[in-house]
Amino acid sequence: MNGKNPCQVSNVGNSTNILWHDCPIQKRDRQQLLQQRGCVVWLTGLSGSGKSTLACALSRSLHARGKLTYILDGDNVRHGLNRDLSFRAEDRSENIRRIGEVAKLFADAGLICITSLISPYQKDRDACRALVPEGDFIEVFIDVPLHVCEARDPKGLYKLARAGKIKGFTGIDDPYEPPSSCEIVLQQQQGNGFKSPCEMAEIVISYLEEKGYLRA
């Protein structure tokens, strides 16, 4: 499955003399058990765009359908696994890399892994996409204008950034790079009315159904 010689010791990054061990139970076996296909649903967008709210609505709707999910929320992961990382550009990239690797493991376990984090840089999202089989990375861009996110400001961070008390804040003094080609765009424009989290979740679920992720 991993295309590795079972007797070949290798060096990966700073790790030397390591050996990949295969298990007779593979991803397809776990998917058959769960009656679903493992994948990564990557929610990206500005702070205040509604990523965490959508992640919970999506997880709840899929759970009601008997599907197993797990959410990797950006703030939650920084309480543990990534608590050693700051919000400097290099640490933000490492934050995304680690979450991408964990999401890959969840997808390989057969779960529908939902990530909820700003992930502002295209190259970092692309690197996470490259970790999983083609088609198993579903990038969902929650396209909410900056002024709307700033008006919401659920954590009061935009106000602090505007006051210069937070440096390198995405959308203010650090860029957000919108996805150049993603699977789903959820546009939220004031003139067209805002979709509810449940409505947006159903759009994502329809995609998952169409692509066969809700069956083994």
Beta bridge partners of 69: 112
Decide if 119 is catalytic. yes
pLDDT digits (tens, 9 = 90+) for 123-145: 999 999 999 999 999 999 999 99
pLDDT at 1 over 50: no
Other CB atoms closer than 10 Å to residue 190's CB: what's the count?
11
pLDDT mean over 2-13? 69
pTM reported for the whole predicted model: 0.91
Does position 197 have pLDDT exceeding 90, yes or no? Answer: yes
φ/ψ of residue 24, rounded to 5: -65, -25
Percentage of residues in the chain having pLDDT higher than 70: 94
How far apart CA 29 and CA 110 sit, in angstroms, is 9
- The third-level CATH classification (topology) of the domain covering 25-210 is Rossmann fold (3.40.50)
Q: Report domain extents, the chain.
A: 25-210
pLDDT-derived band at 119 (thresholds 50, 70, 90) equals very high
User: Whole-angstrom Cα distance, residue 96 to residue 124?
Assistant: 7
What mean pLDDT do residues 94-108 have? 98
**Euclidean distance between CA atoms 24 and 2, whole angstroms:** 12
**73 near 117, Cβ under 8 Å?**
yes
Confidence at residue 89, expressed as pLDDT on a 0 to 100 scale: 86
CB atoms within 10 A of CB 12: 8
Q: Which residue has the tokens 């390591």?
A: 18
| Residue tagged active-site, from 10, 49, 119, 196 | 119
SS3 content of the chain, % helix, strand, coil (to 5): 40, 20, 45
In the numeric block, which tokens belong to residue 136? 């198993």
Rounded Cα distance, 138 and 125, in Å: 11
Confidence band for 28, pLDDT divided at 50, 70 and 90:
very high
Mean pLDDT of the chain: 93
Cα(47)–Cα(50) distance, rounded to whole angstroms? 8
Strands (E), 29-180: 39-44, 69-73, 112-116, 137-143
Phi and psi angles of residue 72, each rounded to the nearest 5 degrees, phi first: -105, 95
Is residue 7 very low, low, confident or very high in pLDDT (cuts 50, 70, 90)? low
Is the pLDDT at 2 greater than 90? The verdict is no
Split at pLDDT 50, 70, 90, the class of 185 is very high
Of 185, 200, 171, 194, the residue nearest 142 (C-alpha): 185
Q: Compute the C-alpha angle 135/136/139, nearest 5°.
A: 85
